[in-house]
Each structure stands twice: as structure tokens, then as C-alpha cells.
Amino acid sequence: MMTAQQLDIPVRRWVPDWVAVGLVFFIILPVTMLNGTYTGSMVEVSNTLGAYTEDITIGYYAASAGMAIAYPIVPKVLNSFSSKSLLLVDLTLQFLLSWICARSANTELLITFSFVIGFLKGFLMLWLIRRIKFIFSPGDVRSEFYAYFYPLVFSGGQLSMIVTALLAYHYDWKYMYYFMMMMLILAILFVIILLRHDRPSKGVPLKELHLREMVIISTGLLMLIYVITYGKISDWMASPKICVYIVIAPLLVALFLWEQFNSPKPYVSLKPMFQWKAILGYFYMILVMFFSTSTTLLSNYMTSILRVDNVHNYTLYIYLLPGYLLGAFICFWWFRWQRWRFRFLIAGGMACFVVFFGMLYFTISPDSTYEQLFVPLFFRGLGMMVLLIAFGLFVVEDLNPKLLIYNAFFLITFRAVLAPVMASAFYSNMLYRLQQKYMVQLSENMTMVDTLAASRYTSALGNNLAQGHGIDEAMQLATNSLYSVLQEQSMLLALKHMLGWMFVVTLVIAVISRFVPFHKTVRVPVVRMGEDMV
């Protein structure tokens, strides 16, 4: 095992090396789970505060946006402060912000603090990455590190959803914040007791923090997220706020890009965007996250068709974890052996999504069971992990090491912010419109002339009369029962429609990926680590 000195963990002299390594992993656990809002409790928060579920999802994405905004300045801040000072300040602020979020009933405040939590989270992530990369890969090989780091981070995110759902169901939605506060306070105590100051802290000049550029791109990005997330519930252009944001947001983003392109010392260098490998990699990662966010459809199926409660809904996603582990294992040995072409790995990863959508399309029905969803989710986790690791390596393969931190900014912005936000809005809007379409089609044929509809109505009417209801009330209840059947059937048809199209699209992309010349040779150069946070 590597020593604490080799890993640059500034522990006190009496602390054993294994305790120092354990401290790093103890800190990374709450960091991977930490967020301003937790999607696992969105139903409980929505019912308690009278808020939209979109208020929770936008907070979740705002935290990812905060991380992306922090990335370009994180190395400067880490190099200016001692490890102990940085960890204590950051963890303490995270503790206070979590407490405020737990006590707040204002959803706009939750969104704002979610962004700040994500911003602060970026500093912790790079500090941890600098230490654990040599634990996972003593030879400092990127493919080996990603094979450990990616499943660790994504598993932490899934675990937070499960813990949130359990705590919200058995206690209250605020208990997730209390749970995270407990984890953070333990991390703070361990830092105080075990770490020492490794160097004196010094300030960072304000001009090197690029505060103006950060404000511009943060505002533009949050406005875009707002427009995409709230478009449906605000009726798009009928909302004055959306009309304003939809004009201002692109202008702010364009201003930011123009300034970075012409600046001699930019906050974010645009050079990664001029390399074809980076563009192709970002495009595929957007596709991966677009397909992965389709669990929105799965959640609607479980709640509307199978009548599954919120706890079982989120607990189901634990079956993603074996897929993550197998995907990481495959990538680890694929890039170590390098015996097969890169395109085969990409086609195989995309084929996992084909299996995922195909199994859902052919199996979902009112008679399906909860257990039938285990295998599709396993394949979704497998495909997602394989493609994210593969394209994470592909993007940085020919990239100048000085541009790695800027690549992280673009990668997280596309992969963790814009792609899932757009995908979530797309699935939500399409599902709503298709359900309304099929609702109209089904209701047109549901008359007393239809034998099945007539028998259901007559049976429901007879049962209601037998229970003592008056004729008018019994007729209304019988009509409502038919309406419930129509809603369920229209939802099922809408899901089938979308899943069928997703199955065809992923199949076409998998076939095309098999013939894309990602590399002209079989071997992929071994890429060493750098200042990267992807």
C-alpha cells in the first residue's frame, strides 16, 4: 500500500497510512452523495411545500452547473490554500448550506443554494482525485483510474437517491439533509484530528478568479435550465419570465464564448471545442445521458401502471450498480489488453441500450411485475458505464494536458447539465402529448355500442348501486372508473410509442458505431493522468 506521504495526504505523524487512506474514502462518500435537492424525496417535498417536482429536479441540475462553473478556477484555489484549511472551510460551508436547505420552505432558495453546494463540491472533488488516482492506478494510467472512479461516483449518486427515498418515506424529507449533515460533521472532526497544515495559505488575486465571466455564464446556464425545465408547466411562451429568459440566456452564452475566444488569458479556453475527437466524444456523451435519462419513462410506468410506491421506485435503481461494476471491469481489461478495435466497444455499449429499450418495449403491460425490470436496468447501467469511460478516454487522447481542466468544464456542462435537462424535458413533454393523443383516440370508441366498454360500465354501475349509492352518484362513479382505465391505457400506449422509437434509434446508432473509424489502428495510446476532474 502507498504511504500517506506518497499520496500527499498531510496527516499527523502518529496517524497510520491505512487510516489516512480511510479518511480520504470517508470524505469522498458524503461528497458523492451531496446535493442541494434530492430527487428521491421529490414527491414528499412537492406534497409538503406545495411545489412542483420540477423545483426539485432544477435544483439537482443547478448543483451540476455549479460544479462545471467551479472547475476552471479549482486548481488555482487548491494551490493557494493548505489542505486542512480548504477541507475545513468547504465542509463547514456545505454543512451550513445543508442546514439552510433543510429549514427552508422557499424553492427558489433551494435552487440557489443547490448551485452554491455544487460550486463548493468541485473543490472537494479535485482534492480527492489528486489523492485517490494513485491508489487506483499507481502507474498514473487514466483508463485504470476511470475504471475505479466512474463507478464510485455514479454509485454514490444512486445511493443518495435510495437513502433519500427511504428516509423521506419512513421519517420526513428533511432527514436526508440531517443525514448528510451528520456525515459532514464526522468528516470535519476527522479532518481536525488527523490532518495538519501542509503549507501556509495565500490569497488568490481576484482577476485570476474571473468573477465577471463566472457570473455571465452562470446566469446564462441557469436561465437555460429554467426555460427547459419549466417550459411545460408554464405553457412556454405564455410565461413572461420564459419569454425574457429565452432571449437573454443565448445572448449571455454568446457573450461569454466571444469573450473567451478573444481573451489572451481566458477563464475557459475554447480550444477543446476545435478538436474533432472532443466534439465527437461530447456528442456521444450527450446521447448516452439522453438515453439514460429515459428512466423518467420507467418511473411513470411504475407509478401509473404498476402502482409502485416511491421507495420501491428508487430502490429499483440499485440494479444499475452491478451494471456499473461490470462495465468498469470490461473497460479496465479492454484498454489494458487493447486487442480489439475501439468501435466494437462503442457498438457493444450502445447495444446494451438496445437491449434495455427492447426489453421494456416487449414486456411492459398492466400484468407485468416489478421484478421484470431488474435485467433491463442492469443493461442500462452496463451500457452507460462502458460508453462514459470509453469516451472520457477518447476525448482527452490527443488533448494538450494544459486543456484538461477546460475539457472537464465542457464535459460536465454537456453530460451532467444540458443533456439530462433536455432529455427530461423531452420525455416529459412527449409523454404528456402522446398520452393526450391516445386518450382522445380511445375515448372516441368507448361508447355503449362497444361491448367491452358497455359491460365494464354496467358492471361498475351495478356494484355501485349494490353499495347503496344513488343512481346519479353510481353513474358518476362508473364513468370515473372507465376514465381511470382510459388514463392507464393511454399512458401505456404512450410509453410503448416512445420506447419503440428509442429502441429503433439506439439500434441504428449501434450499427453505425460499428463502422465509425474512431481509431485507424487497434491500439489506443496509454494516456497519463493530469489536472482533470471528469
Dmax (CA) of the chain? 86
3-state secondary structure of 264: coil
- pLDDT at residue 76 tops 60: yes
Tell me the C-alpha distance between 129 and 210, whole Å: 24
Say which amino acid occupies 356: F
Question: 106-136: per-residue pLDDT in tens?
Answer: 778 888 899 999 999 999 999 999 888 888 8
Count CA atoms within 13 Å of residue 294 on its CB side.
27
pLDDT of residue 389: 93
pLDDT of residue 134: 87
Mean pLDDT of 17-29: 91
The pLDDT mean for the chain works out to 86
- pLDDT at residue 192 tops 90: yes
Which one is predicted more confidently, 138 or 450?
138
- When pLDDT is cut at 50, 70 and 90, the band that residue 322 belongs to is very high
Tell me the C-alpha distance between 435 and 429, whole Å: 10
pLDDT of residue 481: 67
Mean pLDDT of 203-226: 89
pLDDT of residue 291: 94
- pLDDT at residue 475 tops 80: no
pLDDT of residue 526: 63
- pLDDT at residue 403 tops 90: no
Count CA atoms within 13 Å of residue 422 on its CB side.
15
What DSSP line would sit under 500-518, residue for residue?
HHHHHHHHHHHHHHHH--S
